Amino acid sequence: MGTHAMEQAAGATTVPTQTGLLIIGASQSGVQLAVSLRALGFDEHITLLGDEDHRPYQRPALSKEFLQGTVESESLIFRSNEYWAEHNVDLVKGEYIARIDKEADGSGVAHASSGREVPFKRLALTVGARARKLDTEGADLDGVLYLRNADDALALKARVGDATDVVVIGGGFIGLEAASSLQKMGKNVTVLEYGPRLVGRAVGEETAEYFLAAHRSRGLDIRLNTSAARFTPADGGTSVAAVELKDGTVLPAQIVLIGIGVIPNTQLAEQLGLDVDNGVVVDRFALASDGTTVAVGDVANMPNPVPGSEPGERIRLESVNNAIEHAKVAAYSLTGRREEYAGIPWFWSNQADLKLQIAGLCNGFDQTVLRRDEARGKFSVLYYRQGQVIAADCVNAPLDFMAVKNALAKGQNIPADAAADPATQLKTITTDS
Amino acid sequence: MPTVHFTDAEGAVRDVEGNVGDSVMETAVRNGVPGIVAECGGSLSCATCHVFVREDCVSQLPPMEDMEDEMLYGTAVDREDNSRLSCQLRLTDELELFVTTPESQV
């Protein structure tokens, strides 16, 4: 058949006419799904397909080490080619799946925009999310950039040498990480945040204020409650030269980097008729509404897996940790087992010398406890709900982070009154709840 | 070529050749050594690339920085005197390193 002939002409190894599992999205969750399936003994052929021309790579470094040039692109690659070959996983790069025909038994055919067809027995969607675009006037000028994937990072790196001034739009994790990196590279960086504080709802007020003060003291120009009115080129040019704010201020900018969140890639799920609501709606076992397709990672809207969360509460998590843990759940599902999400969600963000680690989810907290050790540059906030610790934001305080993460994983508590003294090691006051 | 010999908690050994400059963690992950998880990809945030270094190899390695030291207090299997996070160990020319992976990383 056509696809088979094409594979062989391209010199690829022989691929069965129908792959056992087609994983769309050669992402962190896609890679983990393939790896976990092999660890569980899944022996059918796997096709891991992505629309980028790169082998699957780790994204977090793109705004940090990769941008700064302290790691090579090769070290971002998840697995060697030999690994995939040995594990009977066919890696397909640079194919964008435009449409899928699917049968009730879960099998079907995926149609790429190139014309290539990939017949499959089962389908996994690990398609992630895309950068939300800004439609501000001038957003189509050269030098107005986003940072979501490797090509974005390469485009940014290619322009950064000639730039003196950078305006970062969005004071979330990606914006602050990139701003810190660019500042370290000698750029004059201004961060514009539309809202009244940094990092939106991902952290509490105390942490947001800590980061604001810490970044400002390191020389980063951060403007809250501020948005751009338009991006303007130099006379007759096609590249951005300045950002005009709504109050009329004009900031020079040879690069504008936009990081204002992401939109889950639900196009294929919608075309398949799956339930979609802020992502692909899945059950506790990562199964979409058709009962056969799994959706994993950033794209999946799942029942909140954190112990003690409200029944029926749903959540979509954008993190490496979630991509990994959720992929494991899906791998069990695809091998006929029912295992619920394990582990406590955690996140990290490295900005300049500020190393933020977050354990748990702070949603619904009613009390915070601050631990601050100015001399050693350590800062932690513990979040409580009805006296039970539910999360912590820790800056340069890995012992606090580890103590809270481990307590949450074991269903333990760290009493609030005892936690306030930064000289007390949290591990020593952890109790069985 | 530098070589890392990974022994798992059950005693099974896997020898992996690596590249100078890569970390022990990267070398393990790229080749699918199962005892190393490395969720954070080497940014010293997760402590899931914990290894026990064979005593006679410890002196070949760079000293530990504070952050690694603190992270090691949070590993899934308790640290020992020869514990390191393998993302912090860079392969050098002719390095012959023997490490054991813990029973669990998370």
Residues A176/A191, Cβ–Cβ less than 8 Å: yes
User: What architecture (CATH level 2) is domain A353-432?
Assistant: 2-Layer Sandwich (3.30)
* Number of other CB atoms surrounding residue A88 within 10 Å: 16
> Considering only residues 28 to 47 of chain B, which have any Cβ-Cβ distance to chain A shorter than 8 Å?
29-32, 34, 39-47
Q: Is residue B105 in some structural domain?
A: no
**pLDDT given for residue A208 in this prediction:** 97
Give the number of C-alpha atoms closer than 13 A to the C-alpha of residue A188, restricted to the C-beta side: 8
Question: At A382, is the secondary structure helix, strand, or coil?
Answer: strand
Give the number of C-alpha atoms closer than 13 A to the C-alpha of residue A392, restricted to the C-beta side: 32
Whole-angstrom Cα distance, residue A30 to residue A297? 9
Whole-angstrom Cα distance, residue A428 to residue B78? 15
The residues facing A158 across adjacent strands are none
Q: Is residue B54 in some structural domain?
A: yes
**pLDDT given for residue A310 in this prediction:** 87
pLDDT at B99 over 80: yes
* Number of other CB atoms surrounding residue A41 within 10 Å: 7
> Considering only residues 45 to 84 of chain B, which have any Cβ-Cβ distance to chain A shorter than 8 Å?
45-47, 67, 70-71, 73-74
Residues A31/A39, Cβ–Cβ less than 8 Å: no
Segment B28-32 shows an average pLDDT of 94
Contact B30 A83 (CB under 8 A): yes
Residues A144/A256, Cβ–Cβ less than 8 Å: yes
Q: Is residue B79 in some structural domain?
A: yes
How far off is chain B from A83, nearest CA to CA, in Å?
6
Length of chain B in terms of residues written: 106
CB-CB neighbors (< 8 A) of A61 in chain B: 41, 43
**pLDDT given for residue A15 in this prediction:** 57
Domain boundaries, chain A: 2-130+263-334, 133-260, 353-432
Contact B74 A64 (CB under 8 A): no
Domain A133-260 has CATH 3.40.1160.10: no
**∠ CA A411-A412-A417, rounded to 5°:** 145
Residue carrying the six token digits 């002719």: B94
**∠ CA A233-A235-A239, rounded to 5°:** 30
> Considering only residues 316 to 335 of chain A, which have any Cβ-Cβ distance to chain B shorter than 8 Å?
320-321, 324
Q: For the domain A2-130+263-334, what is the CATH superfamily, name and number? A: FAD/NAD(P)-binding domain (3.50.50.60)
**pLDDT given for residue A5 in this prediction:** 40
Give the number of C-alpha atoms closer than 13 A to the C-alpha of residue A417, restricted to the C-beta side: 0
Whole-angstrom Cα distance, residue A320 to residue B46? 11
Question: At A376, is the secondary structure helix, strand, or coil?
Answer: helix
For residue range B44-76, what is the model confidence (pLDDT) as tens digits? 999 999 999 999 999 999 999 999 999 998 888
Segment B12-18 shows an average pLDDT of 96
Contact A79 B29 (CB under 8 A): yes
Predicted complex ipTM = 0.91
Residue carrying the six token digits 């439609």: A135
How does pLDDT run along chain A (433 residues), one tens digit per residue? 334 444 444 444 455 689 999 999 999 999 999 999 999 999 999 999 999 999 999 999 999 999 999 988 888 999 999 999 999 999 999 999 999 999 999 999 999 999 999 999 999 999 999 999 999 999 999 999 999 999 999 999 999 999 999 999 999 999 999 999 999 999 999 999 999 999 987 899 999 999 999 999 999 999 999 999 999 999 889 999 999 999 999 999 999 999 999 999 999 999 999 999 999 999 999 999 999 999 999 999 999 999 888 889 999 999 999 999 999 999 999 999 999 998 899 999 999 999 999 999 999 999 999 999 989 889 999 999 999 999 999 999 999 999 999 999 999 999 999 999 999 999 999 999 7
Interface test with B, best of A59, A75, A81 (most B CBs within 10 A): A75
Q: Is residue B106 in some structural domain?
A: no
Residues with Cβ < 8 Å from A10, sequence gap 6 or more? none
How many structural domains comprise chain B? Answer: 1
Of B32, B40, B73, nearest to A348 by CB-CB distance is: B40
Instruction: Read off φ and ψ for residue B70, nearest 5 degrees.
Output: -70, -40
Contacts of A3-6 spanning 24+ positions with Cβ under 8 A: A3/A116, A3/A117, A3/A118, A3/A119, A6/A116
- Quote the pTM value: 0.94
Do A133-260 and A353-432 show the same overall fold?
no
Contact A324 B32 (CB under 8 A): no
Give the number of C-alpha atoms closer than 13 A to the C-alpha of residue A361, restricted to the C-beta side: 21
Look up the CATH number of the domain holding residue B59: 3.10.20.30
**pLDDT given for residue A1 in this prediction:** 36
**pLDDT given for residue A6 in this prediction:** 41
Burial class (CB in 10 A: 0-12, 13-18, 19+), A7: middle
Contact B67 A355 (CB under 8 A): yes
Per the structure, the complete domain to which residue B84 belongs is given by: 3-100
Cβ-Cβ contacts under 8 Å between A and B: the total is 66
How far off is chain A from B74, nearest CA to CA, in Å?
5
